[in-house]
A and B are shown apart, each in its own frame.
Chain A
């Protein structure tokens, strides 16, 4: 488990939604850098219509925002929509109200993790495995990431993934050992402080 995952698990805000005064929409706005413009949504649906993975989402961004405003918490945090967001920013540039949709999706994922509400384990584990390698080495580690993730979640496709991995190794496109940055201590100090700061937001 990555440091951030352990951190999230032991943090008091694991049960944040049960705290008196918990307001999901306020938390999303506070944790999203800049002005999210979440409450400016006019429910036009340009976002869902532009989304390349929209047809596989439980809710379109438009629906999520309506639910957020209606005070619905569990269904929003359990939705697969933020996890199926591919960060293509099509909705972001098309939104007539300039709602920072992609950034709101990121924030919703972080809150879904810290409240234990995520439903898409594959996506959450992929993000945390990736993050764990960065915390440990300062760099992403494609080989470790793909093998660990595939064995855990995509056993049916492991044979295909092995072929893909071997192809990448053969052509020198995959390292089987991770690279560590020199000043990893500095990065870890920054990360630990950042985790503390996030919990206060």
Chain B
């Protein structure tokens, strides 16, 4: 399968391990991706807070470039949730609102560009892997199953909400990532906070609000004895990983929940080394978790403390099966 790829700013640097590991996974799965030439920033959540027309015009430029450069494919793939959503939303609004389409194209014409809404299909890398490649084809490539590793799927927000093209199973209880991790051989925990916000830009605006939101993700992960959280979003990775220590200081806690990209876990299961996958660049040490699947990083893994079983006095509650396929 061939597609155009929109890397986005985060994946050039802070989420470089995501890009590196994704490229290896694409290679293994026979996915042929070509980067959009001279793409610009998608504006994240900030440009639309300053100027609506401009925020969509800059995304329009990316869509127009993709339309021009598309050859033998009409799929435009992004792996960053914010980039994916911004590309999806601009295309969607241009399709559903003729005035808005004219507005964005008016701005684009100043740069000699034009975009016909709907001419590229915006997709997320996870969507491509589970729906185009498929679980069976992924399973065939697994050489080192992640047996014994307790993982929690963490989607965050923007990949599943508002999901303008209805590509995912559910906006709050999706199951694609869990199914993928299960195919890799991992022990998948039903993580209740899987589509709760990582705090987004609040780390830059109000630390207290941000720490509170980060704790809402990390604490339940510890309680569920999750070895590693698995994400598909650069912002989620950065907030949960880089700010976890500050959050601990703020609350006087000592939570330690490492978080990796799904492509890194796929890479491990496909037999790539941690170094090739950019593992080891996290703030929260992932070595103790990976020691469970026979992986050792440069640092000596500190043995994970045996967690005491919770003495929960409340009545037992029924658990939603992970494979719940209920409608929305």
Q: What are the residues of chain A within 8 A of B158 when measuring CB–CB?
A: 87, 89
Are B113 and A190 neighbours in the complex by a CB distance under 8 Å? yes
In the complex, identify which listed stretch (B22-30, B51-59, B183-191) lies at the interface while the others stay far away.
Answer: B51-59
Interface centre among A102, A131, A168, A182 (most CB of B within 10 A): A131
Q: What are the residues of chain B within 8 A of A122 when measuring CB–CB?
A: 204-206
Q: What are the residues of chain B within 8 A of A66 when measuring CB–CB?
A: none
Interface centre among A53, A139, A182 (most CB of B within 10 A): A53
Q: Which of B15, B52, B157, B209 contacts A53 (CB 8 A)?
A: B209
Q: What are the residues of chain A within 8 A of B113 when measuring CB–CB?
A: 186, 190
What are the interface flags for A162-187 relative to B under an 8 Å C-beta threshold, 1 for contact and 0 otherwise? 00100110011111000101110011
A106 to chain B: closest residue by CB? B48
Question: Which 6 residue pairs across A and B have the least CB separation, nearest first?
Answer: A193-B110, A89-B161, A171-B281, A88-B197, A86-B200, A130-B46
Chain A residues engaging chain B, CB cutoff 8 angstroms: 2, 4-5, 8, 31-35, 52-53, 56, 82-84, 86-90, 92-93, 102, 106-107, 109-110, 113, 120, 122-124, 126-128, 130-131, 134, 138-140, 142, 146, 149, 154, 157, 160, 164, 167-168, 171-175, 179, 181-183, 186-187, 189-195, 197-198, 201
New A-B contacts (11) at CB < 8 Å, excluding given A131-B51, A174-B14, A194-B56: A33-B52, A33-B93, A52-B199, A123-B49, A134-B43, A139-B12, A140-B10, A160-B246, A174-B13, A181-B38, A197-B106
Chain B residues engaging chain A, CB cutoff 8 angstroms: 9-10, 12-17, 38-41, 43-58, 60-61, 92-93, 96-97, 100, 103, 106-113, 157-158, 161-163, 171-172, 196-197, 199-202, 204-209, 213, 216, 242-243, 246, 280-281, 283
